[in-house]
Amino acid sequence: MTELILALDVPDRKEALNIAESCAPFIDAIKVGYPLVLSSGLSIAEDLASPGLPLIADFKVADIPNTNRLICEVVFSAGFDAVIAHGFVGADAARACIEVAHSHSGKAYIVAEMSHPGATEFFHDGVAERIAALAVRCGADGIIAPATRPERVARLREIVGDKAIYSPGIGAQGGDLDAVARLVDGVIVGRSIYAADDPAAAAERLSRICR
Ligand code: XMP
């Protein structure tokens, strides 16, 4: 089974909560990022608690270790279950996020390679492979890898072994769910669900492929 994670990039609190509630039966976790938190505040984590799904804070944390630690303390104290952090900032900075996550019995995922076209400007020449290795070395719970490049996901799988791989880029960014579903532990889907005429129906359709 591949988890289906809803990227709830809806900058309106009420609409976001409605979509989360209607999609809840078909999804395995909710990912919240800047669009929703900056518009609604961190208390959105409490509001989203009722479906009982894991909540992932996608802040792509990328600062010095001390600041990363402070950010992650706030994230987990607000009620999130996991955080996404960048790995290119180095092992000490990534480790700060991972340590805070684990001290809250939470999880930390490290971005190894991004899904958009511009990502290849810098994530090449083995950079993503090195970040994936860093994630393993630092004890991260998994990595984020691009559904838009299944061959890269397969390559990064060789490095992370049975650590989790969560993969954004399905649908709106051109990634094909069928091509990555069996390579990853979970797919992260935003617009193909929340911008659909019927988000719950879209989530149900995708969840059938995942299961
Ligand atoms: P869409 O609407 O494109 O949303 O389905 C995808 C969601 O995933 C996030 N995203 C990424 N997050 N590494 C990440 O950590 C990536 O490479 C990446 N690509 C997309 C995006 O912000 C949105 O929430």
Neighbours of 56 (CB within 10 A): 27
What is the Å distance from ligand 1's center to 9 Cα? 9
Q: What is the pLDDT of residue 123?
A: 87
Check if the beta carbon of residue 108 is closer than 8 Å to that of residue 83.
Answer: yes
| Residue 169 φ/ψ region, left for φ over 0, alpha for ψ in the -120 to 50 degree band, beta for the rest | left
Check if the beta carbon of residue 158 is closer than 8 Å to that of residue 187.
Answer: no
CA distance 189 to 177: 10
Q: What is the pLDDT of residue 93?
A: 98
Check if the beta carbon of residue 9 is closer than 8 Å to that of residue 36.
Answer: yes
Check if the beta carbon of residue 165 is closer than 8 Å to that of residue 143.
Answer: yes
Average pLDDT over residues 40-60: 96
Could you tell me the pTM of the whole model? 0.97
Check if the beta carbon of residue 164 is closer than 8 Å to that of residue 141.
Answer: yes
173 is in an annotated binding site: yes
What is the Å distance from ligand 1's center to 68 Cα? 20
180-205 tens-digit pLDDT? 999 999 999 999 999 999 999 999 99
- 112 CB-near residues (< 8 Å, 6+ apart): 87, 128, 131, 132, 135, 143, 144, 145, 156, 160
* Residue 88 amino acid letter: F
Check if the beta carbon of residue 202 is closer than 8 Å to that of residue 26.
Answer: no
Q: What is the pLDDT of residue 211?
A: 87
Q: For residue 59, what are the CA distances in angstroms to 33, 98, 118, 157, 203?
A: 6, 14, 19, 23, 23
CA distance 182 to 186: 9
12-38 tens-digit pLDDT? 999 999 999 999 999 999 999 999 999
Average pLDDT over residues 133-152: 98
CA nearest ligand 1 atom 4, residue: 190
The one catalytic residue among 28, 58, 81, 141: 58
Q: What is the pLDDT of residue 125?
A: 87
Average pLDDT over residues 153-172: 97
Ligand 1, closest atom to CA 171? 5
